[in-house]
Amino acid sequence: MLPSTFVILQGIGPKTERRLWHEGLLTWNDFLSQPGISGISAPRKQWYDQELLQAQSAFDSGQLGYFAARLPSRDHWRFFELCEPQALYLDIETTGTSPHDGEVTVVGLHRRGETVCLVRGETLTVERLQAELDACTLLVTFFGTSFDVPYLRAKFPELRFSMPHFDLCFAARRLGLRGGLKQIERELGIERDSALRNLDGWDAVRLWMQWRAGDAGARDLLLAYNAADTANLAPLAKHVFQDSASRFGPASAGASRLFHPDRQELHA
C-alpha cells in the first residue's frame, strides 16, 4: 500500500490521490513513467518526481520514519501490509482512567502469535518495554493513541515511541464499526474464552486489587483477560486493514491500469 501512496506529496490530498489512481497511476513508478499528468504543472511534476525517488529510496532502505512523518495518523493503516511480520500489538491495564491517579499494572504484548504479559513489580520495567518497542516496525493498539501510549509516557517518561502507530479504534470507526473492542469483536466473530467475555477494564482493576490482597486466582484471570485483549488485536487489525484497503485504497477508485509497454512495475 505504501508504494501506492501519493498523499505524502505536499499539495496532494485524498481527492487528488484517488484521481491519480482512477487514471491508472497506481504506484510511484506509474507516476514517474509519465512525462506529464493532467492537472499537475511541469515544474510541479518534476518536483514530485524527485520527491517520489526519495520516497522510493527510503522505502527500499526501510526508513519507515520518513513516511510516518508525512502521513497523518489516520493513514497509518497503510503500514500494516509491509510491517505485519514485525508488528507489536499492545494493551495495558491500569488502576485508574488517568495516570495522575492510577498506575500501569499489566502491559500485554503480542507478536508473531506469541503473547506475553509484563506485570508491575515483576517483569514490567522500562528497559524490557523499550526493548520490545524497539524490536517492532509498527505499533497496533485499540484506542492507544488516546489512552495506552499517553498513559505509558506519563508513567515511563523515558520511553520512546518512534514507530508508526495503527490505532484500530479510529480506523474501525471510519469503517462504520462502533463501540468498544469487545463489541466489535462480537460483530466480526472474533472469539474469546467464555470466562472472559463479560469482563471489562473495571474488572481488571478489581482483579488487580484482589490479587494484591492475596487472591492468586484473580491474578490468573487478570492476565488471561489482558492476553485476550492483546492477542485479539491481531485478527482485528487484519480485518480493518483489508477493509480499509478495499474502501480507501487504489481499488476503491475503480482504477483501470493504463497500458504502457515501457512501464516498470514496483515490487514491494
Given phi > 0 = left and psi -120 to 50 = alpha, else beta, which region is 143?
A: left
For the chain, which residues make up each domain, given as ranges?
2-71, 81-244
Q: Please determine whether the domains at 2-71 and 81-244 fall in the same fold group of CATH.
A: no
At the topology level, CATH places domain 81-244 in: Nucleotidyltransferase; domain 5 (3.30.420)
Which pLDDT score is estimated for 45? 98
Q: pLDDT tens for residues 190-205?
A: 999 999 999 999 999 9
Name the pairing type of β-strands 104-111 and 87-94. Answer: antiparallel
**Rounded to an integer, what distance in angstroms lies between the CA atom of residue 112 and that of residue 100?**
34
Sheet of 87-94: strands edge to edge? Answer: 114-119, 104-111, 87-94, 138-141, 165-167
pLDDT digits (tens, 9 = 90+) for 148-173: 999 999 999 999 999 999 999 999 99
Instruction: Give me the pLDDT at residue 251, please.
Output: 87
Query: What share of the chain has pLDDT > 70, as a percent?
Result: 94
Q: pLDDT at residue 268 above 90?
A: no
Residue 189 has pLDDT above 80, yes or no: yes
Q: What is the CATH number of domain 2-71?
A: 1.10.150
Q: Which residue, chain included where needed, has cell 484497503? A: 245
Q: How is residue 219 written as a grid cell? A: 491474578
If one compares 267 and 107, the residue with the highest pLDDT of the two is 107
| C-alpha distance across the termini of the chain, in Å | 9
The pTM (predicted TM-score) of the whole model is 0.91
